Amino acid sequence: MRRVLITGIKGFTGRYVAAELERHGWDVCGIGSHDEVGDGRYRRVDLLDSAGLRTVIAEVQPDAVVHLAAIAFVGHGDADAFYTVNLIGTRNLLAALAACAKTPECVLLASSANVYGNAIEGVLGEGVPPNPANDYAVSKLAMEYMARLWADKLPIVIARPFNYTGLGQSESFLLPKIVSHFRRGEEIMELGNLDVWRDFSDVRAVAEAYRRLLEACPAGATVNVCSGQTHSLREVVSMAEGICGRSIRVQVNPAFVRANEVKSLCGDPSRLRSIIGDWVTPSLEETLSWMLEQ
């Protein structure tokens, strides 16, 4: 069995990626920054602990790596954390992998479609010049540039996922917040700008895309992971109302309207499909139904 190391394995995405890889015959190990009792495949080590990372990687000797660990919530209050974790933490990981006696067959780094920013309308391909509009996006773009320094030592693939969601995602993200209001039977919900359009995928499909990218390993490639379709938050609320059979009153709270909000993000999945073959994500309505019916 090939062994894969997943950073952030206990996070929202990490759990789905671990399950996907296990189903397809991978020996899965993972690291994270929190204690976890009784899981022999898990090791606690912080990305900022260079020596600890080298020790764990020398012990695990992974055949492949999926790097998911990051500060991922755009509204996170500590700007410094974006750079220390997303940039310096990733550099420490790559340095540890390069120092290992066994070179991985593939290192998949999860970046973000937020690097495209807010300047260009239409469908965004990987060739669109980045224009990040917040610290999170800048930290991810900086990570991409930094990773190029290791391209001669490690087979690196960069994934740029657009928005995705699913069961178990934190309510600090918008779709789980909307779902939780419906599941609790609340009559009023406060949101920010309802006319923000996003390309939404299902976390289960994203996990599949990551697994297939890892197995194909187009080293040096940057690849969008996206559906190629957008929905506004207004449409999301309407879908949830249809699934639940009842309405909810939405109040726009100016405090929830972010400065430098990216108004529309729609990705072009052509490169992804050219690498891994046919790939589709469930419709947003199917994903919402799954989240609402649990």
pLDDT of residue 40: 82
Instruction: In whole angstroms, give the CA distance from residue 288 to residue 284.
Output: 6
142 — pLDDT class (breaks 50, 70, 90): very high
143 — pLDDT class (breaks 50, 70, 90): very high
Domains parsed from the chain with CATH numbers: 3-166+200-228+266-271 (3.40.50.720)
pLDDT of residue 77: 62
Q: In the chain, what percentage of residues exceed pLDDT 90?
A: 81
Instruction: In whole angstroms, give the CA distance from residue 167 to residue 44.
Output: 25
196 — pLDDT class (breaks 50, 70, 90): confident
| Burial class of residue 254 in the structure, from the number of CB atoms within 10 Å of its CB (0-12 exposed, 13-18 middle, 19+ buried) | exposed
Q: In the chain, what percentage of residues exceed pLDDT 70?
A: 96
